[in-house]
Amino acid sequence: MPNHTWPELILEDWQDTLATLHMWTQIVGKIRLEMTPLVNHWWNVPLYVSARGLTTSPMAYEDRIFEMEFDFRDHQLRIECSDGALTSLALRPQSVADFYGEVMNALRALGIEVKIWPMPVEIPNPVRFDQDQIHQSYDAEYVNRFWRALVYIDDVFKQFRTRFIGKVSPVHFWWGSFDHAVTRFSGRVAPPREGADRITIEAYSHEVISHGFWPGGNGAQAAFYSYTAPEPAGLSASSIAPKKAFYSQDMKEFLLPYDAVRQFSAPEDALMDFCQSTYEAGANLAGWDRKALER
């Protein structure tokens, strides 16, 4: 029997909301990018799962700090300052352009002046935030499902992270690619990636094995992924778990459908098996010093 604790996520039922929410998180994420100093591999820019949704964590502004949080329980964007100032915006069906205007006006009302580049990233055919009247859907029930899924996934990824004592990223939500991820590092410098830009040069400066969750899009359903970069020879033929996991020749990644994980009596165990088996496959073939890097 399917496990109903992990919520169902059917792309066709919420793809318009997903596309809108992606743009909204990019607006807030770009504010975080602007207000925080660069941390290696862009670790200063992602969002984090919170008890209510997704948060920026605290950001400094003059003699104050402030935090922006998507509340996916009461469906608000909360902006709270260390001096007690607080405002919230209702999350509801509205265009990206209107949301962008409301967010910037709310920050100015709090005495916070921020300027961001209003162009979405990592998507085809981007439209400036202040001109986007295309994306304007918000299904509160599905957004709440998405957040509840992230809560469970976040916990598994954090448990998986504890097994590694080498350099490892936080568990964080990338608003550009709209995925939740954790990345392990071998400690060795990686060769330059073909066609790398400023973002990917920083992100892939060292050898990595990354695991993540993508909620779907462009006709593809939600899935977990794992990739090793650079990819060692023979990785695609590796034996991994669980049985529903497979190697995608198109994506050059191991994939495991989210819905398949939901069907297990213990979804957390199935996801952990996927993370551990794909990590071992990549680390062994790439010659990582596992004895020094693992507990």
Tell me: the pLDDT tens digits for 263-280? 999 999 999 999 999 999
Note the residue count of the chain. 295
Q: Do 173 and 116 belong together in one domain?
A: no
pLDDT at 1 exceeding the cut of 80: no
Domain annotation covers residue 161: yes
Interval 151-196: pLDDT, tens? 999 999 999 999 999 999 999 999 999 999 999 999 999 998 888 8
| Residue ending a domain, choose from 131, 166, 197 | 131
Q: What is the pLDDT at residue 63? A: 97
What percent of the chain lies above the pLDDT cut of 70?
99
In angstroms, rounded to a whole number, what is the distance separating the alpha carbons of residues 154 and 132?
Answer: 31
* Whether residue 184 is found in the same domain as residue 249: yes
220 in the same domain as 123: no
Number of domains in the chain: 2
This prediction has a pTM of: 0.96
Mean pLDDT of the residues in the chain: 96
Q: What is the pLDDT of residues 66-87, one digit of tens each?
A: 999 999 999 999 999 999 999 9
Residues 121 and 204 in one domain: no
Same domain, 122 and 192: no
List of residues 6+ apart from 93 with CB closer than 8 A = 136, 137, 138
Task: Note whether residue 195 is domain-resident.
Answer: yes
Do 154 and 127 have their domain in common?
no
* Chain centre to alpha carbon of residue 112: 26
Q: Does a cis peptide bond (omega within 30 degrees of 0) precede residue 230?
A: yes
pLDDT at residue number 192: 85
Q: How far apart are CA 183 and CA 90, in angstroms?
A: 34
223 within domain boundaries: yes
Quick one: 125 and 164 in the same domain? Answer: no
Residue 58: per-residue pLDDT:
98
| % of the chain at pLDDT higher than 90 | 94
Output the pLDDT for position 267: 97
Residue 5 lies in a domain: no
Residue 260 carries which side chain, given as an amino acid letter?
A: A
Query: pLDDT class for 4, splitting at 50, 70, 90?
Result: low
The CA distance from 25 to 276, in Å, is: 30
Cα-trace Rg, the chain: 19
* 211 and 171 co-located in one domain: yes
Same domain? For 122 and 236 the reply is no
Is residue 137 situated within a structural domain?
no
Of 74, 96, 131, at which residue does a domain stop? Answer: 131
Residue 128 pLDDT greater than 80, yes or no:
yes
Q: Which domain-ending residue is among 131, 160, 182? A: 131
Instruction: Based on the fold, state whether residues 275 and 156 are members of the same structural domain.
Output: yes
**In terms of domains, do 207 and 170 share one?**
yes
- The sign of the CA dihedral 242, 211, 257, 6 is positive
Q: Which domain range does residue 157 map to?
A: 149-293
Lowest mean pLDDT among 83-87, 138-142, 197-201: 197-201
Q: Are residues 153 and 287 in the same domain?
A: yes
Average pLDDT for 122-127? 96
- Domain assignment present for 57: yes
DSSP code string of 20-56: HHHHHHHHHHHHHHHHS---GGGTTS-BEE-SSEEE-
